[in-house]
Amino acid sequence: MTGIAPTRPSMTGTISSMKVEGAYTFPGSPEQVWDLLLDPESLRQCIPGAETLTETSPDHWDAVLKVGVAAIKGTYKGKVAIVEKQPPTMYTLQVEGSGGPGFVKGSAKISLEGNGDTTSVKVEGDGQVGGMLAGVGQRMLPGVAKMLMNQFFECLISKSKALAA
């Protein structure tokens, strides 16, 4: 990603390589789930705390997120990009943002695999968090990241179920 200098491990308050993983089952074919996962309106509605999501070029958006969980509260401005697309089986989601409490930068590999009338979606990601956000929320961050990821995918699964009905 461009725009933010690489994180140095010596940077005060930085957590490097915070891992997130998840697996979700969607109704529908990989092609249907792929279309949903890349639909800008679905993303706008399902990204937790998304206030705006503005497309700047194909598969690239500027975002404003307002996240308020315990010590991890703040408004973040950043960028979201979908790269390395291999329809309908895999893509990489890149996110970077900064706000008063600190910065967030990360990427996640999203894999889709058909299984009869459902599709398994696997997420493997890692990221860095820095600034006051890292210092105050260090122990809470992995749990908060997992909770936000679950909210995002549960929202998309409910949209997928509505489409399948």
β strands within 28-142, DSSP E: 50-57, 60-69, 72-86, 90-99, 102-115, 118-130
3-class secondary-structure state, position 134? helix
- CA–CA dist 22, 3 (Å, integer): 28
pLDDT in tens, 65-117: 887 666 667 888 999 999 999 999 999 999 999 987 788 888 999 999 999 99
133 membership: H or E segment, kind and range: helix 132-137
Look up residue 103 and give its two tokens.
């910065």
pLDDT in tens, 24-69: 999 999 999 999 999 989 998 998 889 999 999 999 999 998 876 6
Show Cβ contacts of residue 63 under 8 Å, excluding neighbours closer than 6 positions.
Answer: 47, 50, 52, 53, 54, 76, 77, 78, 79, 80, 97
